[in-house]
């Protein structure tokens, strides 16, 4: 079993935020993936998708489903993150008031992704964008 | 606790329900912060919130939450209702504050997560 999917995300479009995560969730359910794994995948993906909508101009989500793991890669064109260590701290956020009104921007997204992922790598270039690489094993329980 | 009992305790209005009043929840969690909701790992959960927008519905979807109670007379938009119906969720609105709604439900037997 090896499948790949790709979704485009538009910055600022909160009416569509979560659409890709929703599609991935439906697909994983159809494939009979364990519910605990699905939840960890979609929590990671949704937090990351909302981050693109909240902070970037646009982005691409790619999902690779393998026999033993699910690999998510989210690449955005945006302002990037100047200090990743700071961004990973619970409670730190640069989100706008609009994002906070949506119930996000409390500095919990990246730590939440980290808690749910088996492997989480974040790279960023200020002024250009950010890339998240998230791996979730199909037979593990990180949380 | 059944959905109809939640409505009865809080003078709430059932906005939509895929399975009408037979839906039952055991635990409740109250928050306006969606990232907080995404940290919860529990089935059979009622989300009590004053945040009424599409992302509330999306967050519930990702968290496997099938029942949302909107407090403080928050309006459910047609887009929210459509998405909730598509996902088979139950939505309830009530006039109480989050504090009062939580207190009344706790007194009626709803369990806290921790």
Do the domain assignments include residue A32?
Answer: yes
Residue A90 lies in a domain: yes
- The one-character DSSP state at B75 is P
Work out how many domains chain A is built from and give that number.
1
- Domain, as residue range, for A91: 3-137
Residue matched to tokens 């496997």:
B64
What domains are there in chain B, each with its CATH number? 3-112 (3.40.1390.20)
pLDDT at B22: 62
Residue A13 to residues A43, A47, A55, A89, B83, Cα–Cα distance (Å): 19, 15, 11, 26, 16
Smallest CA–CA separation between B112 and chain A, in Å? Answer: 20
A60 domain residue, yes or no: yes
Tens digit of each residue's pLDDT, chain B (114 residues): 999 999 999 999 999 987 654 678 999 999 999 999 999 988 899 999 999 999 999 999 999 999 999 999 999 999 999 999 999 999 999 999 999 999 999 999 999 998
The CATH code of the domain that includes A46 is 3.30.565.10
User: Would you place residue A117 in the very low, low, confident or very high pLDDT band (cuts 50, 70, 90)?
Assistant: very high
Give the long-range contacts of residues B86-89, CB within 8 A, separation 24 or more: B87/B57, B87/B61, B88/B18, B88/B19, B89/B16, B89/B18, B89/B57, B89/B60, B89/B61, B89/B65
| Residues in A lying within 8 Å of B, measured between beta carbons | 14-15, 17-18, 21-22, 25, 35, 39, 42-43, 46-47, 50, 101-104, 106, 108-109, 112, 115, 143
- pLDDT of A142: 52
- For residue A105, the model assigns a pLDDT of 86
Residue B8, C-beta contacts closer than 8 angstroms, at least 6 positions apart:
none
Asked if residue A143 is part of any domain, the answer here is no
Q: Evaluate whether residue A47 is within a structural domain.
A: yes
Whether A142 is covered by a domain: the verdict is no
Tell whether B8 lies on the interface with A, counting CB pairs under 8 A: no
A42 within 8 A of A48, measured Cβ to Cβ = no
- Residue B89: its pLDDT value, please? 95
pLDDT in tens, A22-81: 999 999 999 999 999 999 999 999 999 999 999 999 999 999 999 999 999 999 999 999
Chain B nearest-CA distance from A142, in A, is: 13
Write the DSSP symbol of residue A6.
E
**Are residues B46 and B64 in contact, defined by beta-carbon separation less than 8 angstroms?**
no
pLDDT, residue A140, reads 60
Is residue A132 situated within a structural domain? yes
User: Cα–chain-centroid distance for residue A133?
Assistant: 9
Q: How many Cβ pairs within 8 Å bridge chains A and B?
A: 70
């Amino acid at each position: 079993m090896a499948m790949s999917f790709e979704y485009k995300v538009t910055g600022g479009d909160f009416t569509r935020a979560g659409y890709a995560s929703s599609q991935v969730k439906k697909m994983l359910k159809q494939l009979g993936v364990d519910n605990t794994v699905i939840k960890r995948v979609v929590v990671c993906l949704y937090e990351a998708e909302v981050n693109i909508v909240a902070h970037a101009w646009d982005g691409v989500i790619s999902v690779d489903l393998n026999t033993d793991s699910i690999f998510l890669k989210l690449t955005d064109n945006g302002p990037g993150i100047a200090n990743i260590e700071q961004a990973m701290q619970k409670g730190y956020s640069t989100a706008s008031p609009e994002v906070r009104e949506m119930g996000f921007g409390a500095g919990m997204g990246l730590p939440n992704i980290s808690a749910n992922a088996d492997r989480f790598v974040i790279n960023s270039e200020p002024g250009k964008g950010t890339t998240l690489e998230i791996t979730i094993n199909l037979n593990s329980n990180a949380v | 606790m059944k959905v109809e009992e939640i409505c009865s305790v809080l003078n709430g209005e059932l906005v939509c329900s895929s399975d009408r009043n037979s839906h039952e929840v055991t635990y409740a969690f109250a928050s306006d912060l969606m990232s907080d909701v995404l940290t919860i790992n529990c089935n059979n959960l009622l989300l009590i919130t004053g945040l009424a927008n599409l992302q509330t519905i999306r967050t519930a979807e990702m968290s496997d939450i099938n029942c949302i109670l909107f407090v403080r007379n928050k309006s459910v938009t047609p887009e929210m209702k459509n998405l909730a119906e598509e996902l088979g969720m139950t939505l309830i609105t009530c006039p109480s504050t989050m504090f009062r709604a939580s207190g009344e439900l706790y007194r009626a037997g709803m369990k806290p997560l921790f």
